[in-house]
Amino acid sequence: MGFRKGALEGLEVTQNFWRGKRVFITGHTGFKGSWLCAWLLRLGADVSGYALPPATFPSLFEALKLRGAMKSVEADIADLATLAAAVRSARPDIVFHLAAQALVYEGYRHPLDTYRTNALGTAHLLEVIRACPEARAAVIVTSDKCYDLGANRERYAEEDALGGRDPYSSSKACAEVITAAYGASFFLQRTNGHAQAVIASARAGNVLGGGDWSPHRLVPDAIAAFQKGLALCVRSPKSIRPWQYVLDPLRGYLLLAQHLAEGGAEYAKAWNFGPPESHEISVETLVDMLVETWGKTARWEFIPALLGFHESAALRLDSKRAGKLLDWAPRLDVGEAIKQTAGWYREYAAGGKAGALVDRSLYDYECAGVT
């Protein structure tokens, strides 16, 4: 796919660490998974992936031609035998778990499949990692929606109670509990002379970036409507969401993996990677910014939700731990994230190549971290 190797050394996420590392990513055919694969390939890692086939057409995974740039196994995370065989073949140093049923809406439609994928799938991967002596670190990605919002916190920190009033949110809370239980029971120990991997969980919110075509997500739905000259239908314009550029939480995952792999048992805990207060805007505000960025053909209208399912009105993360211990903070403000996202889709629709667009985005993002 022709990614340029990272030209800038001395960044927190460095080629010096990732070059030659064997990395195993579940959910690599998804939106965030595809961006993560592209970044790791750029850094010189040996990347393997395990996921279901891409769920959308187009998909970023296909547009980037990632199947030809990495080892890819397309199978269900609930298929324990196939997953174990894939991990044994990859012999990973680092594991990122992104495979998930990732939509609240689909959780209501298919609750058992959601629990099967998000809870049991996480347990399957952790069980397989136990038998992988090469694995040094694993980052288990869940969601900001794993918290018990009944506490009515201004911001939710990693030690706050887990919960969820819908199948998706509660399935992510289950994944967190499973990760913590496996960590306490089986990891940070020595088995047959081998040190077990160090594991941690990572929680982030809604992301913006080019290449997401998933239905029932605000930005992909907006882009699809704008391209067709239709009005975007918005059901919860006053809801507050922690919007951030896709590369910001991914950078957090990479930094966390580096610290875990370098023997940092103190990093084996849960981590929030959420945006600052300035990024926490309403759905209405974000859509208005998208409309302004896209141009005169874009518009939206309020359509009250007809399905009657519960969706949290406000959700804010406390990410002080990541800021203090990982020196992590988002690099792009929400306005720039929207500009970058809309520009990506515009160029792609005009015939731009996804590989070139992603490569440029990664380079620009790396440069944004140089002071």
207 neighbors 224 (Cβ within 8 angstroms): no
Give the pLDDT score at 216: 85
CA distances from 204 to 4, 97, 234 (A): 28, 13, 23
The domain limits of the chain are: 15-368
Place of tokens 């409309």: 291
pLDDT at 253: 98
* Calpha distance 16→118 (Å, rounded): 33
Nearest to 163 by CA among 153, 149, 175, 148: 148
3-state secondary structure of 9: coil
Cis peptide before 242 (omega within 30 of 0): no
Block residue for tokens 């985005």: 361
Residue by residue, pLDDT tens for the chain (371 residues) are 444 444 333 348 989 999 999 999 999 999 999 999 999 999 999 999 999 999 999 999 999 999 999 999 999 999 999 999 999 999 999 999 999 998 888 999 999 999 999 999 999 999 999 999 999 999 999 999 999 988 778 899 999 999 999 999 999 999 999 999 999 999 876 555 455 799 999 999 889 999 999 988 899 999 999 999 999 999 889 887 778 999 999 999 999 999 999 877 899 999 999 998 888 889 999 999 999 999 878 999 998 865 555 555 567 899 999 999 999 999 999 999 999 999 999 999 999 999 999 999 999 999 887 65
Give the pTM: 0.93
- Does residue 119 contact residue 171 with C-beta atoms inside 8 Å? yes
- Tokens read off for 162: 């887990």
Rounded to whole angstroms, the Cα distance separating 350 from 353 reads 9
Helix, coil or strand: residue 292? helix
Residue with tokens 């991997």: 197
Q: Are 36 and 25 in contact (CB under 8 A)?
A: yes
For 49-73, give one letter per residue: b (16+ CB within 10 A) or e: bbbeebbbeebbbbbbebbebbbbb
pLDDT at 7: 37
**pLDDT value, residue 150:** 81
Q: Which CATH superfamily is domain 15-368 in?
A: NAD(P)-binding Rossmann-like Domain (3.40.50.720)
Give the per-residue pLDDT at 277: 85
For strand 190-191 and strand 194-195, is the pairing parallel, antiparallel, or unpaired?
antiparallel
* Side chain identity at residue 309, one-letter code: F
Angle at which helix 31-42 crosses helix 247-261, to 10 degrees, equals 60
Beta bridge partners of 201: 140, 270
